[in-house]
Structure 1
Amino acid sequence: MKKIISALNDIYQKTDVESSLYSAFGELLYSAVTPAVPFALPAAEKFDENVAQENGVTYLCVHRMTGIYYVALKGDGRESRNYAVMLDAVIGSGEERLRDDFSTEEKLRLLLSGELSSVQKNMFRAHFSDVKFCHYMLSLVTRTREMQSELKHFLSMIADKRDYIVTMDERTLVYLRAACDDNEEYHSSYEFASILYENVKEELRIDLTICTGGTIRSFQELSGSYEKVIFTYKFGKLLSPAANVYSYNDYILIRILSDTPKPLLIKYFDSLLEKNGSEVLADPELMNTAEEFMKNSLNISETSRNMYIHRNTLIYRLDKIEKETGLNLRVFGDAVTFNLLQILNTLIKGE
């Protein structure tokens, strides 16, 4: 990473090109300028030879042994792209990419990143020709590098010989857990992730977030699966910051709406919002209550028990939400509408 930071500083001092360094999850690691160049990772298909341009920013994907990083350069014209290509050559992001002596973990890290060309993917395909892919896709993000080391050791102790554990960056692990056996005890990747989270908390007592991208069933699905958990992590933290386990399936609607023009999102939002609904959306207590109520299948007894509040307190809050928004969360259709309002509100704010 020191080589990347040095290159960003050199380019800024010599050309005044503003740039910042981010992790694959969009966390700012370093910036040559203040404020940092904004980051909103483009879709994998928009990258051409490690470079993508979108909304006034040029992105360079950098592969290192320690993980995958992104450099964001201000501007999205030809000049900015040329600087990105030059920076790619200076830091040598591709210098370690296709060595024959790469370990299985290193090959998987490059495949999961989604940045390899079809030719490069085929070069790795032979290595996995004997693997029957049917694996849960999980990303596990810890608060510190030290926690990641503990977590990786723990996973290696419980992993099956068909499982894969991949270090993506200094805080992120990918765990590909073999599934689809006749005696498989879990019904979904989310169920497995939830139980894994509780086991890790009990054994290691560390802070982490787990995101699931569903089940990988072929070699071809590897490259897109990591993008799914990055997306899930981003919007999971925005919409449900108190949660620790997120499933991509819960955010597919957001994925669809995220490509909708903002004026149209505002139109949808205004058509659904009634009375003083905006006040409810800005109230952390009411929003947390609504989220827990929906997470517990609209069950009042289960929700009040999990939130450690009296049943009547929960009913009072639900009544208040209904009074201000016109939506009775006890009714499934209204609960779906309320969830849509929350999603639209987040996308409109652009947070």
Structure 2
Amino acid sequence: MISNQILQSTIDGLKGITKRDITVMDVEGSVLATTEDIDIGSQVPTVPDLIHSKAESMLIQGYQYFKVFDEHTVEYVVSIKGEDEDVYKVGKITAFQIQNLLVAYKERFDKDNFIKNLLLDNMLLVDIYTRAKKLHIENNINRIVFLIESNNDRDTNSSVMDIIRSLFPAKTRDFITAVDENNIILVKDVSEDSQRGVMEKTAKSIVDTLSSEAMGRVRVALGSVVNDLKDISRSYKEAKMALEVGKIFYEDKLIINYNRLGIGRLIYQLPLSLCKMYIDEIFKDIKVGDFDEETLNTINKFFENSLNVSETSRQLYIHRNTLVYRLDKLQKNTGLDIRTFEDAITFKIALMVAKYMNYMEKSGY
């Protein structure tokens, strides 16, 4: 069904060309859009007479009425005041225009359903290629899934969808849809250039545009490039995983690429029982929650600066000896000297594992 806003915009444009007032009603005679001084929602009692007749158009009380068909079913009725030949032509043109809109919207709706079912793995393999052929969707071209997360309300997310569509207009190989209230999915044709850097530039343009439009904080996750329609669901699952891993380990990143998850991907796939065993082995009776904020900040900054004592002390605005004292104290409590590469790796992984366990616990797993 075409939105009333689109119907109104269509007849406003036609009135600008033809200088004729046009009204569009549903099959019960309720006014959906009009250029006349008529209330939207008001009833036109003559419409049922036309619906029940076999005629495609009818002249009633100075108005010409025209049926608009969706295949063989009447979907709308158009009315224009006047009895001359020009009014008849305008009516036929209006009915033809709306009928074409119905076809276009139905095709878009069918494609949207197809892509959703494809993403969610709701289709048999044979059905994928059969339906794709009917919908004129090409198969063997490179595509990638972008998952755009927005934690705004439903109305704002609708605006986000419109902005995404405006960023990728008139691309018959691109598809934009949503499978829940918070996430918008862009299935993008990358047949021209599937290099990783190009894909991340596209993701950055999405983040920058939505930020400039005051849509709040958004995160964009990328799956892998796939070459077959049946594999789009895999790219979607990868993007979902990337988004989840990003929330746990890379909170400050707004763009998360599945192919750049690093050790976060490995930890995310570990069973919690194995994670607990590792934490108990490394920290014994110490809990990560026992470390105060100053200690954790010192550790993280030390890792950021590649175990460089001088640079870390400079960025923390503390004396070098103060930093050495803190690191010595950490070694005494944990048995790990993070100034050495091996202990630093062990400690870094342990912190990430603890973070993962805490996230999973809060998520109810």
Matched residue SS, 1:187: helix
Structure 1 unmatched runs, 5+ = 1-98
Aligned partner of 1:342 in structure 2 is 351
For residues 37-75 of structure 1, the C-alpha deviation after alignment (integer angstroms, 9 at most, x for no partner) is xxxxxxxxxxxxxxxxxxxxxxxxxxxxxxxxxxxxxxx
Match of 1:165 among 153, 169, 176: 176
What is the alpha-carbon distance in structure 2 between the residues aligned to residue 100 and residue 298 of structure 1?
55
What is the alpha-carbon distance in structure 2 between the residues aligned to residue 290 and residue 180 of structure 1?
44
What is the alpha-carbon distance in structure 1 between the residues aligned to residue 109 and residue 352 of structure 2?
42
Aligned partner of 1:229 in structure 2 is 239
Quick one: which amino acid aligns to residue 350 of structure 2? L
Aligned partner of 2:91 in structure 1 is none
Counterpart mapping for 1:72-91 below 5 A: none
Q: 1:238 to 1:159 in 2, by over 3 A?
A: same
Q: 1:204 to 1:310 in 2, by over 3 A?
A: farther
Quick one: which amino acid aligns to residue 225 of structure 1? S
Q: 1:245 to 1:101 in 2, by over 3 A?
A: closer
Q: 1:118 to 1:132 in 2, by over 3 A?
A: closer
Aligned partner of 2:276 in structure 1 is 266
What is the alpha-carbon distance in structure 2 between the residues aligned to residue 148 and residue 171 of structure 1?
7
Deviation, structure 1 residue 112: 0.7
What is the alpha-carbon distance in structure 2 between the residues aligned to residue 290 and residue 190 of structure 1?
30
Aligned partner of 2:189 in structure 1 is 178
For residues 146-189 of structure 1, the C-alpha deviation after alignment (integer angstroms, 9 at most, x for no partner) is 2222222222222151322112222210112333535x786153
Q: 1:310 to 1:142 in 2, by over 3 A?
A: farther
Aligned partner of 1:116 in structure 2 is 123
Deviation, structure 1 residue 198: 2.5
Q: 1:165 to 1:273 in 2, by over 3 A?
A: same
Aligned partner of 1:206 in structure 2 is 216
| TM-score (structure 2 length as normaliser) | 0.52
Counterpart mapping for 1:19-58 below 5 A: none
Aligned partner of 2:114 in structure 1 is 107
What is the alpha-carbon distance in structure 2 between the residues aligned to residue 322 and residue 146 of structure 1?
54
**Is residue 196 of structure 2 the alignment partner of residue 189 of structure 1?**
no
Deviation, structure 1 residue 111: 0.6
**Is residue 148 of structure 2 the alignment partner of residue 137 of structure 1?**
no
Q: Which has the higher contact order (CA 8 A, sep 6+)?
A: 1
Q: CA RMSD in A?
A: 4.2
How many residue pairs get aligned? The number is 244
**Is residue 148 of structure 2 the alignment partner of residue 148 of structure 1?**
no
What is the alpha-carbon distance in structure 1 between the residues aligned to residue 318 and residue 202 of structure 2?
30
Matched residue SS, 2:223: strand
Deviation, structure 1 residue 259: 5.1
Matched residue SS, 1:341: helix
Q: Which has the larger radius of gyration?
A: 2
Quick one: which amino acid aligns to residue 154 of structure 2? R
Deviation, structure 1 residue 199: 3.0
Q: 1:132 to 1:312 in 2, by over 3 A?
A: same
Match of 2:315 among 311, 314, 321: 311
What is the alpha-carbon distance in structure 2 between the residues aligned to residue 318 and residue 120 of structure 1?
63
Q: Is the 1:142–1:209 contact (alpha carbons within 8 Å) kept by the matching residues of 2? A: yes
Quick one: which amino acid aligns to residue 211 of structure 2? K
Q: Is the 2:143–2:232 contact (alpha carbons within 8 Å) kept by the matching residues of 1? A: no
Deviation, structure 1 residue 322: 7.6
Matched residue SS, 2:146: strand
Match of 2:230 among 195, 214, 220: 220
What is the alpha-carbon distance in structure 2 between the residues aligned to residue 115 and residue 273 of structure 1?
45
Structure 2 unmatched runs, 5+ = 1-105
Counterpart mapping for 1:60-79 below 5 A: none
Q: Is the 2:156–2:215 contact (alpha carbons within 8 Å) kept by the matching residues of 1? A: no
Q: Percent of aligned positions with the same letter in both sequences?
A: 17
| TM-score (structure 1 length as normaliser) | 0.54
Q: 1:221 to 1:153 in 2, by over 3 A?
A: same
For residues 5-45 of structure 1, the C-alpha deviation after alignment (integer angstroms, 9 at most, x for no partner) is xxxxxxxxxxxxxxxxxxxxxxxxxxxxxxxxxxxxxxxxx
What is the alpha-carbon distance in structure 1 between the residues aligned to residue 197 and residue 122 of structure 2?
31
Quick one: which amino acid aligns to residue 315 of structure 2? R
Matched residue SS, 2:141: coil
